[in-house]
Every structure is written in C-alpha cells, then in structure tokens.
Amino acid sequence: MFRVKDDTIWGQIRILFLASALLFLANIYFGFYNALSWVYDLLYRGRAPWDMDGPRPELVEMVKNGQLKPCRAIDLGCGTGEDVIYLAQRGFEAVGVDLSSRAIAQARDKAREAGVSPTFIAGDVTRLLQVEGPFDLALDYVCLGCVIGTPARERYAQTLSRLTRPGAIYILLNLATDPDRRFNLVPNALQPGEVDNLFGEDFVLNITTMSTKLGL
C-alpha cells in the first residue's frame, strides 16, 4: 500500500518558503544537514506550524477499520510524535525519527504524559544507521518533501528498503507537482514519475492523488 497526497494550501506554501529561506541562510554558516537541523530546532522552539493536536485522521481511520493492525512501525519525520504515541497506545511497537532534537525531546515528554514508551530517535532519515529493522509499517507525512536533492532522496529510499520487511506497508502523504501546470508553487515537491523511480522496484504502488489549484 502506498499513498501520495497532493493537498497543498496557502498556509503550507508559506511555511515551506519560510523554511527554505531560513535553510538558505543557515546553510551558509553550518553546512547543509546541520543547517536543516538548526532550522527545525528553531521552528520547534514554539509551536511548529505543521504540528497537530493528535494523530493524523487518515492514520486513525486506517487503524479503526482494521487496515493497520499492531505491528512494528516507524514514523519518518515524526515531529513531536503524535502519530507514534497514538500507535503505541494501540499496541504497536512504534519508533519515531526526526532530524530535530528539540522535536524529539518534546515527543518524549508527550509520550511520558500519555503513559506509553515508544522509541524516539534524533537522526537523518537518509541514513539512520542507528535504527535496526525490520519494520512492518512505515509512515511519512511530508518528510520526503523536505529531503532535498535526488541523491539524498535515493538514500532515503535505500534506507526505507533496508528497514522494512517483505510485505511491509509504507504510507506516504506528500506534496506533489501538477504536471498540467506550467508553474507550481510547492518547493521541493515530488516530481511526476519520482515515486516510481524511487520505490517502484521495492513496493507495489497504490497512488491516491488529490488535485490542487495552486499553480499556473
């Protein structure tokens, strides 16, 4: 099972442009991945604009209707851990990974308050040498779109393949460009055919697309 969601709104676009601008400035001083970590740590000093109060509705629905049953699960780009905590509360052996150490600290605090003990790891999703598989379920909400450049995205795909067992489910909700528009307003969005190129050899693709009106 493979889900791609193209669901862009102006608020998300502004966030992405702000993060891109901060990343550009920080990259000058720190180097790319240190800069990216610094940007996210900065955003998590307050409430990150994309942070949610509770798990994603799509995930809740899939657990409630039995599409997802307790198993070993990893959330790539888990933020403050809402989805990981939800899964842990329902019997999943859940692991959350995020580049921001500040987000991971907040996730651990939330998990303690919720009375569950999932694993949270601060790390780069394109490598994750400190994480051992295999996992039966992998989640990604817009994390792949924050991985910049084809080589890094290929490393992400290789890492995902290493961490998941045969028959595993990978659920990706991400921003994608619209091939029918001359200009798209989504920086670093998935390009047409990119999903097939990255994952087609290792996953059976089931792509669901919601169209966007942003672009020309």
Q: What are the per-10-residue average pLDDT scores of the chain (216 residues)? A: 43 58 49 64 76 90 96 96 98 96 95 98 91 94 83 91 93 67 54 79 68 38
**CA-to-CA dists, residue 46 to 20, 91, 124, 159, angstroms:** 18, 30, 22, 30
Cis peptide before 134 (omega within 30 of 0): yes
Q: What is the pLDDT of residue 183?
A: 45
Q: What is the pLDDT of residue 202?
A: 78
Q: What is the pLDDT of residue 142?
A: 83
Dist CA 118 CA 215 (whole Å)? 40
CA 148 from centroid of its chain's CA atoms: 13
Q: What is the pLDDT of residue 204?
A: 78
Q: What is the pLDDT of residue 17?
A: 59
CATH 3.40.50.150, applies to 55-199: yes
For residue 191, give the DSSP letter. Answer: P
Q: What is the pLDDT of residue 4?
A: 38
Q: What is the pLDDT of residue 175?
A: 64
Dist CA 66 CA 90 (whole Å)? 12
Q: What is the pLDDT of residue 76?
A: 96
